[in-house]
């Protein structure tokens, strides 16, 4: 699997910004089939930083409805919280 396929996007939320400032943790949306080792290797290859830990969470897609006729689901996704070594940062914005 290619490293650019594993990391889908960065989650820039208020909570993610606080984690980056206080705990040196960054939040990414990743490929649902990716494991922690693949995520760690992808972050180290893309950004050139030392990764200490990777925590992952799976989120189920919510049921959605458009008007009264069509029912569907929002896509499921996986979140990875990556902790970097002390003194290292990633410029995201």
Q: What is the pLDDT of residue 71?
A: 83
Residue 68 included in any domain: yes
Residue 93: pLDDT band with limits 50, 70, 90: low
From the number of C-beta atoms within 10 Å of its C-beta (0-12, 13-18, 19+), residue 14 rates as: exposed
Q: Which two tokens stand for residue 2?
A: 């290619």
Number of structural domains found in the chain: 1
Residue 92 included in any domain: no
Q: Which domain holds residue 45?
A: 3-84
pLDDT (tens digit per residue) in 46-60: 999 999 999 999 999
Find the CATH number of the domain harbouring 17.
Answer: 3.30.70.330
Cα–Cα distance for residue pair 81/88, rounded to 1 Å: 15
For the entire predicted model, the pTM comes to 0.88
Residue 89 included in any domain: no
Cα angle 16-63-72, degrees, rounded to a multiple of 5: 120
Cα–Cα distance for residue pair 46/60, rounded to 1 Å: 27
pLDDT (tens digit per residue) in 12-70: 999 999 999 999 999 999 999 999 999 999 999 999 999 999 999 999 999 888 777 77
Residue 93 included in any domain: no
Residue 50 included in any domain: yes
Place of tokens 């290859």: 45
Residue 3: pLDDT band with limits 50, 70, 90: confident
């Amino acid at each position: 699997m290619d490293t650019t396929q594993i990391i889908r996007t960065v989650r820039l939320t208020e909570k993610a910004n606080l984690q980056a400032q206080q705990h040196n943790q960054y939040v990414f949306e990743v490929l649902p089939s990716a494991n922690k080792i693949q995520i760690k290797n992808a972050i180290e290859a893309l950004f050139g930083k030392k990764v200490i830990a990777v925590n992952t969470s799976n989120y189920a897609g919510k049921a959605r409805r458009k008007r009264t006729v069509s029912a569907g689901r929002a896509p499921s996704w996986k979140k990875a919280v990556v902790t970097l070594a002390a003194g290292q940062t990633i410029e995201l914005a």
